[in-house]
Structure 1
Amino acid sequence: MWVQRDLTLKPHPRGFHLITREVVAALPELGSVRVGLLHVFLQHTSASLTVNENASPDVRRDFERYFNAHVPEGWREWEHTLEGKDDMPAHIKASVLGPSLTLPVQAGQLALGTWQGLYLCEHRDRGGPRRLVLTLTGERA
């Protein structure tokens, strides 16, 4: 079985945002997959995806603080500055974290650990809606 669907996420402020529910809700076919894979691809260069702790909001805030400290806005060495002071740092952060995830599907659900969730990592102050391509493949139950 193969299913591919586009999902547009509402605009999020800069930061790390759990999107697991939105992704799962966009794929009702997920429940019929005994074993498979879900590939999630973000069609943007100034945001990224990651899997991490889904319980404590402190983790999301700490991610944002870490990346802001290590990839600062206003660094005098940036050349690509025409799209705003947050643009080039957003590209660097997005490259470090990456635009895609491949996740196992087991018994009709994502095989995430107890405290794992999917994050949209929004690196721009106003990134706007973000588009994902969701590709589900697997063996039906």
Structure 2
Amino acid sequence: MGKPTSSTLASLAGLFRERDDRAVSQAPDAQARADERLGDINDTEKEFVSSRVRIIDPNLVYDAINLGRRIDVSWPTEYMRIRGGRTHWKDWVPETGMEGPVVHKWVPCHKDPNKRSHVDRTILLVQIDDKFVPIAESGVQDLGPEV
């Protein structure tokens, strides 16, 4: 088999261009959605921002799922991941009674890998001051919408 001719290359380029055009026409607002995701919190996660929770069992905190291992969850932002575990917390530990808004939620078997839990429990990401605490849903008490 020899080098492809210029007509073969032009034909291939046309096929790729058609496929790209179809992808754009099927998702005309894809760029708008991508721009929206660049912020800290997207629309799906905003529903959790208004929910406030209180830690009732600090033993259910996942304090080492921010290490960037392949088996860990996919974090909403790098900022949250860095501040979401013992490596950032140092001597601070989440305690019973601490409260904060839920900023993200990982659910087992979710179709979106960014929202999929790596274990068979739903994990909430709770913001307490400048720290982010990943905790099993059963380890918190829902205080209702934040006002």
Pick the structure with greater CA Rg. 2
TM-score by length of 2: 0.22
Task: Provide TM-score, normalisation by structure 1.
Answer: 0.22
User: 1 or 2, which has the higher helix percentage?
Assistant: 2
Higher strand share: 1
